[in-house]
Amino acid sequence: MDSRKNDDLDAEIQSHLRMAAQDKLAAGQSPRDARDAALREFGNVGVVKEVTRGMWSWASLESFLQDIRYGLRTLIRTPGFAAVAILTLALGIGANTAVFSVVNGVLLNPLPFRNADRLMVLFHERPNFSEGSVSYLNFLDWQRENHSFEAMAAYGSNPFSITGVGEPENVHGQMISSTFFPIFGINPLLGRNFSADEDQLGANPTLMISEGLWKRKFGSDPGIIGKRLIVNAVGRTIVGVIPAGFRLRIWNFHPGDIYVPIGEFSDPRFRERSWASGQDAVGLLKRGVTLEQARQDMARVNRGLAAAYPDADAGIKARVVPLKEHIVGELRPVLLVLLGAVAFVLLISCVNVANLLLARSNSRHREFAIRIALGAGQHRIVRQLLTESVLLALVGGVLGIILAKWGTAAAIAAVPRSLPRAEGIGLDFHVLLYTFGISVIAGIVFGLAPAWKTSHSQIESTLKKAGRTFAGARGRAQGAFVIAEMALALVLLIGSGLMIRTLFHLWRVDPGFNPHNILTFEISPSPSLTTESPDAIRAAFRQFHATIRSVPGVEVASFDWGAHPMQSDSEQSFWVQGQAKPEHSVDLPMALAYVIEPEYLPVMRIPLKSGRFLNPNDSDHSPFVVVIDEDFAAQYFPGKNPIGQHIVTTRLEEIVGVVGHVNQFGLDQDAVNPLHAQVYESIYQQGDEVMPGIARVADVFVRTRPGIDSASVFPAIHHALNRVDAGMVVFDPENMDQTVADSIAQKRFSMTLLGVFAALALLLASIGIYDVLSYLVGQRTQEIGVRMALGAQRADVLRLIMNDGARMALLGIGVGIVAALGLTHLMTSMLFGVRPTDPLTFGAVTIVLAVIALLACYVPAHRAMRVDPTVALRYE
């Protein structure tokens, strides 16, 4: 249709010209003169056609399409410009898309559960722990007495070994309340959830299994319900199969292969009100109940408990945290800082492209001046220019999505463990919408300045002076661009500088032990061992120890049943003999408890400060001894020698030695964690009642000989242990180096991303300042020529241009420092050992940026210096 209209317009104009020529012919002109005169009178045929065409699609989609076509033609005519602009934008938009896809997947998307916004995690809150485990008896009272939850569920993890079907194996499992899966809206694939009756002490032993175990162990047997499986030596009836789609990772819970009712757990300590270790709780708020109401309700319940059971519950509060907050809350400030940082990168991209457009608009000045003179409205010109820039941004956006897809995958792969919900990250509809949105906004932002400038240029003077007069105004605009770019780049560089300093500080933190060449893993001996006598269990562990030590490459080894540095903690309450015992057991001081063997010290290479460490003579037949760390000594025996003093736990223990403090909570967290005191007890001096627990599962720490990779000895150890105990499960091998590295993975992730963004910003800003200065030098060629003709030296010219560039760069740096001072405090939670206004970082980054800016100025300045005055003067 359009081409027919075009032909029609062509014919119309041709007929006009013919008629005009004919009239002139009739007036006596020669045919040739007549045709020329007609053409002259008519004016520019092409322009008339174009403005006429503008009327066809007056303020309609057609004119939009026309703008797009025109824009595309313009871009194709200048492929170099288009490529640079699109690539610049693709980098900016791609980086933003990648970060947003992480923010979207982690922070914005709802959790994949029904009623996700009403799901809460519940903790015991006490002075030392804001988020501690909940004792089961307290949980039952919470469940009974609260008015704000539709349902509550307790859970705890436990290793399970299953026998009776195929090979015996150890699987991860959870003990759960019967309300657990209904709270999360999970329906079993087969069978049913536990009933309340099954969740009671003495109930008929039942079991739910995962879809994975059902497929692997039972070949997806549809008749699985009602069959029996032997778990930890107890026969249990399978009542349901949990679908594999159930994914939940919270404190002390991750999906396992086996679920058993927590209410029938018969360990006597589990029924002690002060025993809050390893079981936690979740709840589903009633509809319409706010978080604040729930918190107040739980505070009321807990006041009642504190009054009824002061010994166990005085001072304990209930802490209610939304599930999503619990999972991703810590990550929110980090991701928002990254999102802000990457927005800066996009801004710099926009400034660079605006710059390019401005320089290019010089050559298009006459084009637009003519169109305006012919009656095209200014808004029409602005729209044309904006269409072109949005078009550029959209093409950049598409390319950016491709970069983002690749970039996100690379980022997640780099630090897999530091990101919860990493599985939900991807390019979904929201991300694409976001990318489209920022592309359009970016297009308008970088298109607006050049469009405004071009359309407001005075038409007559442009036509008369060929655009010369605008060099000044445009020079100012570009100067502002350089200043903005420098400022943005500086803020990003300072942010990444602070992260780098943070990581340096973290790497310098002494963990208190030597993590190199340490292998850790877990063992779960044959279930039958748990039913043996405590002495038999002790003997078995001595045998296991000897077995591990006999493996070539192993230097020393130790079991650990208790806290595991940088992985899991375990506490022991105590009081110092000779000091007043607190009235309530809940007020007893706490220490991190490591239940280990004498070789733990050489395995970890923890320094012995005074006295002695545990030794093989410390047995169940000798006096109970304990070794404390230096922080314990400083806190409870200030200025005194703790050796020979006694502490009371469940029994009287003599302090025989002091060792160095070990970093328990991670390189960045240990200093801020209020719990510092540490105690070491021998695994062989544990009470008889504890031994079955140790026999169920224990950690093993192994130091390999120098030069032997710690991971390489695991298969041999595994094999050797199975020769001693064929039913033993040996699992979760890990390098201690890796464990330490993981404790700062999130900070490393932030540093890597901020570093990448800062490098990108620096690159783009350098290109920007180089472009602008080159352009300005080009504009001033004539002036330079005059100056040189009048006797200016080359060095003077160099100084002149460098001064110009340096002034812009320094102004930008100044603005950037002020902005950074205002912004870096947002990073406070991400930093370690360095203040957000760290003068060293600010100083170093300023110098680096200034040097790079001056280098970017030097090239065009050097070119200006080489200007030949005679050529320059002929330039006009």
Partner 1 sequence: MKSQYQNRIELLQGTLDLLILQTLLWGPQHGYGISQVIRTQSGEVLQVDTGSLYPALHRLEKQKWIKSEWKLTEKNQEAKFYQLTAAGRKQLAEERSRWEQLSDAIGAVLKNPVIG
> 579: how many CB neighbours lie within 10 A of its CB?
11
Closer of 228 and 366 to partner 1 (Cβ): 366
Closer of 7 and 709 to partner 1 (Cβ): 7
Stretch that binds partner 1, among 41-49, 214-222, 268-276, 567-575 (CB under 8 A): 41-49
Shortest reach from residue 17's CB to partner 1, in Å: 8
Burial of 763 from C-beta contacts in 10 A (0-12 / 13-18 / 19+): middle
The answer to whether 165 and 229 are in contact (CB under 8 A) is yes
Stretch that binds partner 1, among 44-52, 72-80, 262-270, 868-876 (CB under 8 A): 44-52
In whole angstroms, give the CA distance from residue 207 to residue 260: 5
Shortest reach from residue 353's CB to partner 1, in Å: 33
Q: Residue 812: what residue type?
A: G
The answer to whether 381 and 63 are in contact (CB under 8 A) is no
Query: Is residue 46 at the binding interface for partner 1, with CB under 8 A as the rule?
Result: no
Across 323-433, the runs of DSSP E, i.e. the strands, are none
Closer of 18 and 464 to partner 1 (Cβ): 18
Residue 627 contacts by C-beta under 8 Å, 6 or more apart in sequence? Answer: 611, 613, 614, 655, 656, 657, 658, 659, 679, 680
Q: What is the largest CA-CA distance in the chain?
A: 136
Shortest reach from residue 442's CB to partner 1, in Å: 33
Evaluate the CA torsion angle 798, 803, 805, 810 in order and state its sign. Answer: positive
User: Two tokens at 860?
Assistant: 């065009």
Stretch that binds partner 1, among 42-50, 64-72, 395-403, 420-428 (CB under 8 A): 42-50
Q: Which contiguous run of DSSP H or E holds residue 368?
A: helix 332-373
Radius of gyration of the chain (CA): 38
Shortest reach from residue 383's CB to partner 1, in Å: 17
In whole angstroms, give the CA distance from residue 108 to residue 96: 15
Query: Is residue 70 at the binding interface for partner 1, with CB under 8 A as the rule?
Result: no
- DSSP for 724-785, please give it: H-TT-EEEEEEEHHHHHHHTTHHHHHHHHHHHHHHHHHHHHHHHHHHHHHHHHHHHTHHHHH
Query: Which of 25, 37, 47, 643: binder of partner 1 (CB under 8 A)?
Result: 47
Query: Which of 3, 40, 58, 226: binder of partner 1 (CB under 8 A)?
Result: 58
Query: Which of 44, 200, 533, 803: binder of partner 1 (CB under 8 A)?
Result: 44
Closer of 26 and 672 to partner 1 (Cβ): 26
Query: Is residue 296 at the binding interface for partner 1, with CB under 8 A as the rule?
Result: no
Query: Which of 1, 27, 55, 61: binder of partner 1 (CB under 8 A)?
Result: 55
Query: Is residue 65 at the binding interface for partner 1, with CB under 8 A as the rule?
Result: no
Stretch that binds partner 1, among 39-47, 339-347, 590-598, 626-634 (CB under 8 A): 39-47
Query: Which of 7, 30, 33, 52: binder of partner 1 (CB under 8 A)?
Result: 52
User: Two tokens at 497?
Assistant: 């500088």
Query: Which of 7, 8, 267, 367: binder of partner 1 (CB under 8 A)?
Result: 8
Stretch that binds partner 1, among 36-44, 128-136, 248-256, 847-855 (CB under 8 A): 36-44
Query: Is residue 6 at the binding interface for partner 1, with CB under 8 A as the rule?
Result: no
> 58: how many CB neighbours lie within 10 A of its CB?
8
Binding mask 370-389 for partner 1 (x = CB under 8 A): ----xx--------------
In whole angstroms, give the CA distance from residue 474 to residue 460: 18
In whole angstroms, give the CA distance from residue 66 to residue 53: 9
Stretch that binds partner 1, among 45-53, 80-88, 458-466, 866-874 (CB under 8 A): 45-53
Three-state DSSP at 811 gives helix
Query: Which of 11, 402, 859, 871: binder of partner 1 (CB under 8 A)?
Result: 11
Binding mask 313-352 for partner 1 (x = CB under 8 A): ----------------------------------------
Query: Is residue 42 at the binding interface for partner 1, with CB under 8 A as the rule?
Result: yes
Shortest reach from residue 64's CB to partner 1, in Å: 16
The answer to whether 249 and 184 are in contact (CB under 8 A) is no
Tokens 């008629």 belong to 19
Burial of 721 from C-beta contacts in 10 A (0-12 / 13-18 / 19+): buried
Query: Is residue 48 at the binding interface for partner 1, with CB under 8 A as the rule?
Result: yes
Stretch that binds partner 1, among 4-12, 481-489, 700-708, 766-774 (CB under 8 A): 4-12
Express the helix, strand and coil content of the chain in percent, nearest 5 each: 55, 15, 25
Residue 261 contacts by C-beta under 8 Å, 6 or more apart in sequence? Answer: 175, 176, 177, 178, 194, 198, 199, 200, 203, 206
In whole angstroms, give the CA distance from residue 494 to residue 824: 8
Shortest reach from residue 52's CB to partner 1, in Å: 4
Shortest reach from residue 365's CB to partner 1, in Å: 19
Query: Is residue 12 at the binding interface for partner 1, with CB under 8 A as the rule?
Result: yes
Closer of 18 and 794 to partner 1 (Cβ): 18
Identify residues 15-34 at the interface with partner 1 (CB under 8 A): 15-16, 18-20, 22-23
Closer of 23 and 267 to partner 1 (Cβ): 23
Tell me which residues touch partner 1 (CB under 8 A): 8-9, 11-13, 15-16, 18-20, 22-23, 42-44, 47-48, 51-52, 54-56, 58, 374-375
